[in-house]
């Protein structure tokens, strides 16, 4: 299908970011923002995941999307390939060499040298996303509060690392899918309880690239936090609003089509760049930098 060939097109463009002679400037890994597989078949990982990324040399981490969790069988398959007890090449991968990931669960915290990433599972509804609700309880939100308190304590001791949040459903969106207000309120409440805010927020779900700037008062300062949707590495082409506007958040950028985003983190800043990909081209279309102070 078209979106499967487009997925390979984007995957091949992403693979070109790697330079075997210069590992320090190559990506550390690929963070998949969910909807790894579509359709009812939990056994479609070969066609929808392993084959499309067969030329991508890096590790692939993921948060599940709504399509990954829409049945018990599909979320079990996600856990089998991303939350395995050891790194092994699963039988379903066939001749493709890609080991299973060993994430602790469908939501997790990765502590890396310059960045801490909190990946959350925004559940299986088409819209909106949520991390707590009567039907699923409060366990993920309670975990988030505990995790953020731990990260705030680490930050107080230093060094200061960037903090990234990742969910499948976006807090804000101007096309394809609506934003998830209640989910963001839950996450904000956890941040307030822990005394720490993210430096940037990554999401998928809407099949486009979008960027928002949110002004958030915090501890006597006003933070400007970028919220990025990068959901067009396979399925793409959902309409986005063309008019950019004020308000809070400010809608800064929108692009219909295919592409992906990169995150570059140093000890003093974080830069998120988005790329538009077509058959014969890959061009940077948007970029934002956050100073870590």
pLDDT at residue 248, rounded to an integer: 92
pTM (predicted TM-score): 0.96
Query: How far is Cα 16 from Cα 192, in angstroms, rounded to an integer?
Result: 40
Q: Which two tokens stand for residue 27?
A: 């990506």
pLDDT at residue 1, rounded to an integer: 61
The distance from CA 209 to its chain's CA centroid, rounded to whole angstroms, is 12
DSSP-assigned beta bridge partners for residue 263: 272
Contact assessment for residue 260 and residue 275, using Cβ atoms and an 8 Å cutoff: yes
Backbone Cα Rg of the chain: 18
pLDDT at residue 20, rounded to an integer: 85
229-255, pLDDT tens digit by residue?
Answer: 999 998 877 888 887 777 899 999 999
Contact assessment for residue 208 and residue 240, using Cβ atoms and an 8 Å cutoff: yes
Q: Which two tokens stand for residue 207?
A: 């099949």
pLDDT at residue 30, rounded to an integer: 98
Q: Which two tokens stand for residue 13?
A: 């463009």
Contact assessment for residue 37 and residue 49, using Cβ atoms and an 8 Å cutoff: yes
pLDDT at residue 23, rounded to an integer: 87
DSSP-assigned beta bridge partners for residue 291: 269
Tokens 């949520």 — which residue?
130
Low-confidence ranges of the chain (pLDDT < 70): 1
DSSP-assigned beta bridge partners for residue 78: none
CA separation, residue 108 to residues 4, 62, 267, 279 (Å): 28, 10, 22, 35
């Amino acid at each position: 299908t078209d979106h499967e060939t487009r997925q390979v097109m984007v995957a091949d463009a992403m693979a070109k970011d790697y330079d075997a002679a210069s590992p320090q400037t190559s990506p550390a890994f690929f963070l998949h923002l969910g909807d790894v597989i579509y359709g009812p078949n939990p056994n479609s990982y070969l066609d929808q995941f392993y084959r499309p990324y067969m030329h991508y040399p890096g590790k692939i981490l993921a948060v599940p999307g709504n399509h990954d969790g829409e049945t018990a069988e599909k979320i079990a398959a996600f856990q089998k390939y991303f939350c395995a007890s050891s790194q092994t090449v699963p039988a379903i991968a066939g001749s493709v060499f890609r080991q299973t990931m060993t994430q602790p669960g469908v939501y997790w915290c990765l502590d890396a040298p310059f960045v801490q990433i909190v990946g959350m599972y925004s559940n299986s509804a088409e819209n909106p996303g949520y991390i707590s609700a009567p039907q699923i309880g409060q366990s993920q939100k309670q975990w988030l509060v505990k995790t953020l308190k731990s990260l705030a304590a680490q930050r107080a001791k230093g060094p200061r690392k960037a903090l990234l949040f990742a969910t499948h459903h976006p807090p804000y969106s101007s096309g394809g899918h609506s934003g998830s207000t209640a989910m963001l309120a839950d996450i904000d409440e956890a941040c307030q309880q822990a005394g720490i805010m993210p430096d940037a927020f990554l999401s998928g779900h809407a099949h486009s690239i979008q960027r928002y700037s949110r002004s958030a008062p915090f501890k006597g300062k006003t933070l400007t936090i970028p919220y990025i949707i990068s959901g067009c590495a396979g399925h793409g082409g959902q309409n986005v609003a063309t008019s950019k506007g004020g308000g809070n958040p400010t809608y800064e950028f929108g692009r219909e089509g295919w592409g992906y985003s990169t995150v570059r983190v140093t000890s003093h800043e974080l830069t998120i760049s988005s790329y538009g990909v077509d058959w014969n081209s890959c061009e940077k279309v948007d970029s934002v930098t956050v100073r870590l102070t």
